[in-house]
Structure 1
Amino acid sequence: MSEKAVEAQPGAGVELSREEIFAAHLGGKLSVETRLPLLSKRDLSIAYTPGVAEVSRAIAEEPGLVDSYTWTKRLVVVVSDGTAVLGLGDVGPRASLPVMEGKSALFKTFGGLDSIPLVLDTTDVDEIIETLVRLRPSFGAVNLEDISAPRCFELEARLIEALDCPVMHDDQHGTAVVVLAALLNAAQVVQREIAGLKVVISGVGAAGVAVAKILLAAGVQDLVLVDSRGIIHHGREDLTAVKTDLAGQSNPQGLTGGLAEALRGADVFVGVSSAQVPEAEIALMSDDAIVFALSNPTPEIHPEIAAKHCRVVATGRSDFPNQINNVLAFPGIFKGALDAAALRITEPMKLAAA
């Protein structure tokens, strides 16, 4: 394997060799460790047979004891079908597994929660739901990950109804929470109230829809959404049901056209698509503009270029300043939900997290 240094993105300050990257992932990033010593026959008799039978009998008689005497209550399954992985797209379940392992490692490190990746070799919503319903006794919460839109909306909504435990599609709501948190802070930097900001969101997939909804709930009044075909507005006949609903809640000025028309005079740009944004279009924004170029691994515009025209610039990457990434939110959201024995992660919980 070549040792040639590769940059995560042109212009980035961090260089990583392929050898270093693959060596770190060799054998996977996860392992299971026992919390009990197994150093003697007595240890074995307590941890396994015959002692464990006493615990199984007790749970059979009183099922609620499973929360106290197994790891279920603190176990999050990270579920993906590999159809929308990072900025790579549909790479399939096997290729998505390194990302899901990483997600589980983040749950443990930043939330103190045990987590296992569960990649499914199906894209059928009914089959995914049936699989998780049947596996429900084994886990305490579900983190949906890297599932393409629009299936992800239906899948999450139906799973919330089907399971009696917290379910959250992190690409939607984890992203939304950290974007709102970042915007609240950026607004303080530019000494503005978010209700008075004109916000443009580029990308109306899973993340874009959730970001739009949480910003509207938080009080943003002038919101414009742009997908690959242009500005979302009532006159378009190619809108999905989700986009049609958002058309009724956004674009109060009735703008049409593309991203350039949306960005003219805008205060905030939120990029949650892989589409690159020319410098000339960012230059159309207002004074003291805010740019969140969150596509990974390649931001919609390089932060050094955006900084020439904007007051606050952030990306989704850890090697640039002002990282806006789900890792800042999802471990705590799930930890809070499980600590509170919540059956659902609600909209007020997401706003409170932000």
Structure 2
Amino acid sequence: MFRPVQLNLMENKARYFDEINILRAFAILAVISIHVSAYFTRMDGINWLAALYMSIDVLSHFAVPLFIVISGFVLYNKYSDHIDIKRFYKKRLKSVLPQYLIFSTFYLAATYIGSIVLAKPVNLDVLHIIYRYLTGGCFYHLWFFVLIIQLYLLYPAIIWLYNYCDARGRVLELLFAVFLIGVLYNVYPIPDIFILGVSTQILGVATKFIGYVFYLALGMTIRKRYDELLLRSVPRTSLYYASLPLLCCTVIGIFGYAQKHFNLDITQILPVMGGYWHWLTAMINPLYYVVIFAFCFYISLNIVSSRSVALKLLEKIGAYSFGIYLVHAFILYVMVLALPRLGFDWNNWLFYPLVCIITLVLSYLSVEVLQKFPYSEYLIGSTR
């Protein structure tokens, strides 16, 4: 179905967009925000600080969907037509697979050493270790690389389908279809299977891409119609009005977290919802993120046009975002082990801002150092 042919000229003459690195910066800042604010789950109950953490966490969860939208945009910018599949796979997998394997090994060793130091049990079973590599389970944030590898492997099929629909004026129908499939996937997740008598999520991990194809296709559509979108002026009042659904969806997200982590019974507060709560959140979340994408895009265009100091800083953070994603979790892991011993933990109002800033600064400096080593792109990706 997919003929390996010569790459079209678009691969060699891909257009550059300043705002993309700004969007990457927003996404990686949101990733750090998620991983710091998530410590509300260790709090004993709901208070004002826990509610603040939950609201920040809900707002920040646009991070991975935005990274996928950017991936769809960039891939379509470079590979919009026929693809030399062998060359495409070699280039794309080279950009993520070595880094994933190196950092999986690093995090696996770090957590094993940490467990030994803390006198916790360590599972050295070979099959268990292989399972963790296959599923992005060597550390909590590495699942993203399994997802992006899946999307890269599927991209030739996705671009064929996208171009097929585009040629017939059916892109909106395609977006709606993948949106609905993603909703159904999130409402009815793939069940665990038993391997050697142990329950595993390997099928769920292998199908993770289903919940994210909508964002990839959205990024492709934005790139396809980018110039047309730029010509459309959006009044500021529209953005103000958009803040209302953002507020409502954030409140819904807080209720969802309260139900999951603090055993809050939603039906007592919203009895009309009953068993429809999961459906509501599954359908709202993608639309919620799209509104946040619009805000991020609007802000990024203004930052690019201003040519301010913020532009240079965010451009650098965006260029380093791949490496920051890889290293920040280790820095946060060490801090969260050390800080509570000094009497400073998630129950302190300064925990979130200080830990976020320290994690970002140390991650940035780490990437700054690592990118000076030979072949650093195989460790932290390209920082251009």
User: Which band: TM-score by shorter chain?
Assistant: under 0.3
| More helix per residue | 2
| More strand per residue | 1
Q: Say which structure, 1 or 2, has more relative contact order (CA 8 Å, 6+ apart).
A: 2
The alignment's TM-score, normalised by the length of structure 1, stands at: 0.25
The alignment's TM-score, normalised by the length of structure 2, stands at: 0.24
